[in-house]
Amino acid sequence: MNVLDSELVVAALRRTGWEMAKTSADADAIFYNTCSVRQHAEDKIYSALGRIRLAKQERPGLVVGVLGCMAQKDQALIRKRAPWVDLVVGPGQLHQVPALVDGILAGGGPRLEVSLGRKAGSRDTVARSFESYDPDRDPTMRPTPFQAFVRTQTGCDKFCAFCVVPQVRGPEQARPPEAILAETHKLVAEGCREITLIGQTVNSYRWTEGDRTTRLADLLAQLDGVPGLDRIRFVTNYPRDMTNDLIAAVRDLPKVCHSLHVPAQHGSDTVLARMKRGYTIGEYMEMLGRVREALPHAAVTSDFIVGFCGETDAEFQLALDLVQTADFKTSFIFKYSPRPGTKAFERQADDVPEAIKKVRLQLLMEAQADVSLAGNLSFVGTRQQVLVEGPSVWEEKRESAPSPSGMAQLTGRTACDRIVVFDGPPRLIGRLIDTNITSASAWTLTGVVADGLADAVPLDALETEGSLPTERVPSSEQSGQPPVRSTQLYTQQLYDIALASTALPSQPSVPPGV
Ligand code: SAH
């Protein structure tokens, strides 16, 4: 979600004459797009703000902004702790950034723009204070030009006891299906082949107009008809909203990937009840059974929180049992981090010692690694279609010159979201190709390009050689977990969006969305 927000803010700034700076030392404005899901994410921002203090002293004209969830959560506290910050803008006001920067450059002083708190008025009043934001996209800001996130909803109404998202992203509000479809057509026209629909609970999507209701299954059917689009993914799913029509849509629509992120969060009914997740493990397993029956080869992934308030050894053992039996392709596992403003923070003690949280994190990660390895090994000897994403992390870091044969180590992703590493010419980037899988680790598959395609002389004049898009690798707070791009949604997002003005600050800003 933050990757998408960053793309939209940069696109809006570019339209008003700003350009990306090469380094923060060249920048006239520096923005931090923030996450408040865990304390660790916030600590990183406050230390980054500490580091920028000197630059601000030396160059008082530098604009420093804090955007996103932490801005909404901490509001004036940010300027209290870091008075050199000029701009604090919540997720519901991001469209105002260009105009706010203009105001600051014109001498208007610091600005704080955030939405109402969840208890500050009626649901509608609060919802209106989180203004929708659907401006133009910017292909250069995407992880790759041929993959894009598309928002289906903003906000969240689930109120899980541990989670701050409903507070900082506001009430759940769906975008009209026409807007989602139009945006997808536009993205495809720009060269996009894969879209990932994103909502905090994407499968709760519901849009009613007159007597017609569009749910996620209907939306997928409409998107499946978009010519030129190859793959459709969607994250994140709420277990209780995994309805049969949605499972059938995934089974029957050719472009929808058989890859489902449905976080269980825990394996114990008593912990799930304290977390206010709204389901029991029996209900979760019933849902998983329906998924496995309709989609036997689907990759199902989960999130887990260890060390939640009052978690006993026996309860933790149930989480371990679930990981060992549910056959998740991957799990993202987090230590519980108390969040002010949540029910758990107000009413339940964070009483699991840090040392025990650490041990449980390690144990669950190891259990998942064993399951992931066994799952990946079953792919050895098979043929898998991948969308080639770009050079591997190893290729990007290697110091020796690229191989004279023009081969590079590339990575692609299967429809079930497995990363395949293989050697091939960069002209394959952005294409769907087949690979034969030769070996596997817990996190990646290794393969060779099938049918000699890697060595073939490119006849297609439209193919362009050489330009390797650079891949941004997200930071992961979980050491030992793979640097997969899908973790971007679940780990700290720290984007130093450094911008240098190439236009006069007085240039009028274009209203976003117009
Ligand atoms: N609606 C999104 C939530 C995003 S937060 C979703 O369901 O995925 C992503 C993950 O972070 C959650 O699934 C949960 O496992 C974890 N998380 C959320 N709040 C947390 C907290 N207070 N401490 C630790 N992990 C948390």
Residue 467's pLDDT is what? 42
- Ligand 1 centre to CA of 238 (Å) is 12
**Smallest CA separation from ligand 1 atom 10, residue:** 490
CB of 162 within 6 A of ligand 1: the answer is yes
Taking only the tens place, the pLDDT of each residue in 167-211 is 999 999 999 999 999 999 999 999 999 999 999 999 999 999 999
Select the more confidently predicted residue: 307 or 490. 307
Cα(334) to ligand 1 centroid in Å equals 8
pLDDT band of residue 223 (cuts 50, 70, 90) is very high
In short, whether 234's Cβ falls inside 6 Å of ligand 1 is: no
In the reported structure, the alpha carbon of residue 307 is separated from the centroid of ligand 1 by a whole-number distance in angstroms of 13
**How far, in Å, CA of 335 to CA of 38, rounded?**
9
Query: For 454-475, what is each residue's pLDDT tens digit?
Result: 877 655 433 444 444 433 333 3
Query: Which residues, 6+ apart, have CB-to-CB distance to 420 below 8 Å?
Result: 384, 386, 411, 412, 413, 414, 435, 437, 444, 445, 446, 447
Closest residue to atom 11 of ligand 1, CA basis: 490
pLDDT in the model for residue 134: 72
Test site for ligand 1: of 37, 358, 477, most ligand atoms within 8 A of the Cβ: 37
Which DSSP category does 392 fall into?
Answer: -
Burial 35-64 (b: 16+ CB within 10 A, else e): bbbbeebbebbbebbeebeeebeeeeebbb
Higher pLDDT, 133 or 348: 348
Tell me the per-residue pLDDT of 240-293, one tens digit each, with 9 for 90 and over: 999 999 999 999 999 999 999 999 999 999 999 999 999 999 999 999 999 999
* Atom 13 in ligand 1: residue holding the nearest Cα: 303
* Tokens matching residue 196: 């990932």
| Interval between CA 163 and ligand 1 midpoint (Å) | 6
Q: Give Cα 318 distance to the centre of its chain.
A: 28
The pLDDT tens digits for 377-401 are 999 999 999 999 999 988 888 877 7
In ligand 1, the atom with minimum distance to the C-alpha of 337 is 23
Of 38, 303, 481, best ligand 1 pocket probe by most atoms within 8 Å of the beta carbon: 303
Higher pLDDT, 224 or 460: 224
pLDDT of residue 141: 83
Going by their DSSP bridges, the two strands 111-113 and 87-89 should be labelled as parallel
Q: Which residue has the higher pLDDT, 120 or 398?
A: 120
> Is the per-residue pLDDT at 514 higher than 80?
no
Specify the residue with its C-alpha closest to ligand 1, atom 3: 200
pLDDT reading at 512 higher than 50: no
Look over the chain and give the mean of its residue pLDDT values, rounded to a whole number: 88
- Taking the centre of ligand 1 as the mean of its atom positions, its distance from the CA of residue 37, in whole angstroms, is 6
Q: Probe ligand 1: pick from 35, 163, 491, max atoms within 8 Å of CB?
A: 163
Cα–Cα distance measured from residue 403 to residue 405, given in angstroms and rounded to the nearest whole number: 5
**Could you give the C-alpha distances from 81 to 70, 87, 485, in angstroms and in order?**
13, 13, 32
Q: Which amino acid is at 277?
A: R
Between 134 and 422, residue with greater pLDDT: 422
372 alpha carbon to ligand 1 midpoint, in Å? 21
CA of 491 to the centre of ligand 1 (A): 9
Of 305, 322, 328, 489, the residue with max ligand 1 atoms within 8 A of its CB, to mutate for a pocket test, comes to 305
Here the tokens at position 63 are 């604009």
Rounded to two decimals, the pTM is: 0.88
Under the banding of pLDDT at 50, 70 and 90, the label for residue 83 is: very high
Ligand 1 contacts CB of residue 200 (under 6 A): yes
Residue 483: pLDDT above 60? Answer: no
- 155/166 Cα distance (integer angstroms): 6
* pLDDT tops 50 at residue 478: no
The answer to whether 147 touches 389, Cβ cutoff 8 Å, is: yes
Query: At residue 22, what is the residue type?
Result: K
Q: Output the pLDDT for position 397.
A: 86
